[in-house]
Structure 1
Amino acid sequence: MTGAGVPAPRIVVAGGHSAGHIEPAMNFADALRELEPAAGITALGTVRGLDTKLIPARGYPLELIPPVPLPRTLNRALVRTPGRLRDSVLAAGSVLDRVRAEVVVGFGGYVAAPAYLAARSRGVPIVVHEANARPGVANRLAARMTTHVFTASPSVQLPHGIAIGIPLRPAITGLDRPALRDAARRRFGLRPDGPVLMVTGGSQGARAINAAVSGAAAAVRGAGVQVLHITGPGHVVEVPDGDPADPPYVVVPYVHEMQYAYAAADFVICRSGAMTCAELAAVGLPAAYVPLPERGGEQRLNAEPVVEAGGALLVNDADLGPGLDRDHPDPAAHRSPAIAAMSARASAAGAPDADVVLARHVLAVVAERRGPERRRC
């Protein structure tokens, strides 16, 4: 805690565009505020993506800068990047100056590279967290500017990287699934007894998963399995009406408090974004991961640690078809005693305290920058 007469730390958080960047950034910010309630925390974001929806909802000031998507290959977008990057660095620097930032904590995404470059030009310390198994361009750049680098797992290849897991919400890391199960199932209109399959494509949804599982609705119900299908905003899924005696098939566009969905479920079919993998491991939910085939197989790498631990399965996106009529997990397998073993193995792959570990390190960086005479107790 900050002592009498010692100013509160001033931190800028840079992680925007997608929920996979925003959520760990906000979870870190929450942990930092728990440790240091007076801390001044400012988030950088852009008008693209989910920044303006997710960040203010978490109660943090949001400063908007021009987005700079860094292309992964040589193309026309790369030619246009220097001008865009310059404008965004200037805007990020203006924010750092105005809030008198003492450290920049970056999580990748469209705002991270400008924030890193602006911080470096001002001598402001940089702390990096990489959630994905394959680091993005911005964090690969930042890892050359700082020794304060943290990753989701030991397999992430970044200089100076220390594996701590991914910052998650306490509602997830502290979730007691059995204790919340009945209330969670009532919340979604599911029955208290019988297996529940949760289906999700992540914050934006996944058309292929939606089509495959909804097309298998009759088979899933016939196996005695209930379904909680989170389609993603903007996606419409048509499920034929079943017999009133059939297990329910519940369709919702989005769930804001995912701990209830996790508590209701016994098994998940989903994409393998870094946050999804981390949360399912933390709560001990086994899954059939269907990695997004784009981005060089990044999502497959995210899922591999828990798959190798025996807590999940991998299904190729190309093997999905309407009705799950190719290589797929059998819905009836949800009843198998093997699910309990998979759940235990998934849980063993989780990392529940990354938010606090990262927050303590950032506070130590601030104290180091201020000098011995102004360190925290």
Structure 2
Amino acid sequence: MNAPVSSGPCVVVAGGGTAGHIEPALALADAVMRLRPDARVVALGTERGLESKLVPARGYPLEMIPPVPMPRKPSPDLLKLPLKVRDAIRQTRAVFDRVGADVVVGFGGYVSLPAYLAARGRLPIVVHEANARAGLANKVGAKFATKVAAAVPDSGLPDAQVIGIPLRESITSMDRAALRAQARQFFGLHPTAPTLFVSGGSQGARTLNTAVSGAARALADAGIGVLHAHGPRNSLVVQEINGAPPYVALPYVERMDLAYAAADLFLCRSGAMTVAEVSAVGLPAVFVPLPHGNGEQSLNAKPVVEAGGGLMISDEELTSQRVVDEVLPLVQDRSRLAVMSNATRNSGHRVAADVLARMVLEVVKK
């Protein structure tokens, strides 16, 4: 099949799996289209990731390839890995040929690895690392990339240009105060009550769910409203208290921009994308880093916490009592939240999407 006819470049983005990989890829896609309206952007993904929902919703074509997850320990799956990688590379190259790819931009994760290997020696590669510590896929891709970008210094990728994390325009241009009334109405929240937003990421987090729902009565008695994204695989039942601001529990929040506008304080994990977005919009946060992995979530949040824009509580220390003792009074302290908001906003990167888009288009031009 011949590639679609277009006068502009075809940019293939690989960033499937979690929202932390997908959202920067889509922010880049939007920035490329702003700079080159004649361009085409095609996303790579797998059936198992959130990209099957998020990418089409943003208006971009999605090409499916087989996932190649790395086994965490020796198992029969490890013996099958070379065949899986070979098949994924073959199918990915077929996608590149079909869409007429000019450049591949990877954001890490199990979609990026086959994309890097398929493009090696055939197409220019640009790598973006969002986390404070680079993952395996991006370490591999960086070895033969034309350009490497990172959100923060010392990510583990040599010669990386530090640009921040690409964010969508609805986040970088947001006026939280102007959107607040609309946002509170959208979610069914109290129009004026202090409001806590809780989210453990796209899949939710049991620790956050248990701690905050267990403090629901105390929050209600204090006149605090809650917007709680508990994750699609979890359920949350919280008793409504007559006369108290609503405790709104949802499996997933699709309008994160409105959630940020509705909230006075965010209790959340500290994935790189989450930290970047709250920094851009100036939303004070209490970060609860994921206790697994190589500690990158603590490193992601550290600059914001040190700047005075957030607090950090370890996963094992987050209990309902800790929510009552520390989070509850903070939601009510408007003057302290205002100081934190200014500190948070000053630590963010607002132009990363455009910087990365120019980098990608310059690679194509060369």
Q: State whether TM-score is above 0.5.
A: yes
Shift of the alpha carbon at 1:147? Answer: 4.2
Relative to the length of structure 2, the TM-score reads: 0.94
Question: Which stretch has the larger CA shift, 80-89 or 124-133?
Answer: 80-89
Distance in 2 between residues matched to 1:285 and 1:340, nearest whole Å: 9
1:126-165 to structure 2, matched below 5 A, reads: 126-165=125-164
Q: 1:281 aligns with which of 279, 282, 288?
A: 279
- Equivalent residue in structure 2 for 1:272, among 270, 273, 284: 270
Distance in 1 separating the partners of 2:62 and 2:337: 42
Counterparts in 2 of 1:328 and 1:100: CA distance versus 1, 3 Å = farther
User: Aligned-residue CA RMSD in angstroms?
Assistant: 1.8
- Kept in 1, the 8 Å contact 2:119–2:125? The answer is yes
Amino acid at match of 1:334: V
Amino acid at match of 2:306: E
Pair 76,163 (structure 1): closer, same or farther in 2 beyond 3 Å: farther
Q: Which residue of structure 1 aligns with residue 97 of structure 2?
A: 97
For 2:355, the aligned partner's letter is V
C-alpha deviations, 1:141-162, integer Å up to 9, x for none? Answer: 1111124111111232211111
Partner of 2:179: 180
Aligned to 2:26: 26
TM-score normalized with structure 1 length: 0.91
Deviations 1:152-205 (A, max 9, x none): 112322111111111111111111011111121122222222311111111111
**Alpha-carbon distance between aligned partners in 2 of 1:328 and 1:277, rounded to the nearest angstrom:** 24
1:327 Cα deviation from its structure 2 partner: 9.4
Partner of 2:23: helix, strand, or coil?
Answer: helix
Seq. identity, %:
54
Distance 1:70 1:179, change over 3 A: same
One-letter amino acid of the counterpart of residue 97, structure 2: D
Letter in 2 for 1:136: G
Offset at 1:76? 5.0
Instruction: Output the CA distance in 2 between the equivalents of 1:339 and 1:91.
Output: 50
Which of 356, 359, 363 is 1:358 aligned to? 356
Q: Does the CA contact (< 8 Å) of 2:124 and 2:146 recur in 1? A: no
Deviates more, 1:343-352 or 1:223-232: 223-232
Q: Distance in 1 between matches of 2:116 and 2:231?
A: 32
SS at match of 2:326: coil
Give the corresponding residue for 1:194. 193
Contact 1:319 1:328 survives alignment (8 Å)? no
Q: Which residue of 1 aligns with 2:252?
A: 254
Secondary structure in structure 1 of the residue aligned to 2:321: coil
Distance 1:194-1:155 versus aligned 2 partners, 3 A rule: farther
The alpha-carbon deviation at position 28 of structure 1 amounts to: 0.6
The answer for unaligned runs of 5 or more in structure 1 is 369-377
Q: Which residue of 1 aligns with 2:346?
A: 348
Give the whole-Å Cα distance in 1 for the aligned partners of 2:167 and 2:145.
Answer: 24
For the residue of structure 1 that corresponds to 2:197, the secondary structure is strand
Q: Deviations over 1:305-359 (max 9, x none)?
A: 11111111111111123x2358963312222222111111111111111111111
Query: Structure 1: how far apart are the matches of 2:257 and 2:6?
Result: 38
What does the per-residue CA deviation read over 1:218-241, in whole Å, with 9 as the maximum and x for residues that have no partner? 111222211111112132111122
Deviation for aligned residue 1:27: 1.1
Partner amino acid, structure 2, of 1:25? A
Amino acid at match of 1:125: P
Contact kept? 1:320, 1:327, Cα under 8 Å:
no
Task: Say yes or no: does 1:297 pair with 2:295.
Answer: yes
Q: CA, structure 1 residues 78+309, in 2 after alignment: closer, same or farther (shift >3 Å)?
A: farther
Structure 1 contact 315–327 (Cα < 8 Å) conserved? no
- Counterpart residue identity of residue 37, structure 1: P
The whole-number CA distance in structure 2 between the counterparts of 1:267 and 1:357 is: 30
Instruction: Tell me the SS of whatever aligns to 2:337.
Output: helix
1:367 aligns with 2:365: yes
Distance 1:101 1:92, change over 3 A: same
Q: Distance in 1 between matches of 2:322 and 2:164?
A: 35
> 2: distance between equivalents of 1:126 and 1:16?
17
Query: Which secondary structure does the structure 1 equivalent of 2:101 belong to?
Result: coil
Q: AA paired with 1:331?
A: L
| Superposed CA offset, 1:266-314 (max 9, x none) | 1011111111111111100111111111112221121111111111111
Superposition deviation, residue 75 in structure 1 = 5.6
Cα separation, partners in 2 of 1:100 and 1:254, compared to 1, 3 Å: same
Tell me the residue number matched to 1:374: none
| Map of 1:225 onto structure 2 | 224
In structure 1, give the amino acid aligned to 2:294: G
* Structure 2 Cα separation of the partners of residues 74 and 298 of structure 1: 24
The 1-side partners of 2:244 and 2:216 are apart by: 11
Contact 1:315 1:328 in 2 (8 A): no
The amino acid across from 1:200 in the alignment is S
* In structure 2, distance between residues paired with 1:74 and 1:234: 28
Asked if structure 2 preserves the Cα contact closer than 8 Å seen for 1:89 and 1:118, the reply is yes
What residue in structure 2 maps to residue 372 of structure 1? none
1:335 paired to 2:332: yes
Measure, in 2, the Cα distance between the counterparts of 1:188 and 1:61.
30
Partner of 1:373: none
Structure 1 stretches of 4+ with a deviation exceeding 6 A read none
> Structure 2: which 5+ runs fail to align?
none
Can you list the C-alpha shifts for 1:232-254, whole angstroms capped at 9, x where unaligned?
Answer: 21321111221x22222111222
CA distance in 2, matches of 1:6, 1:317: 50
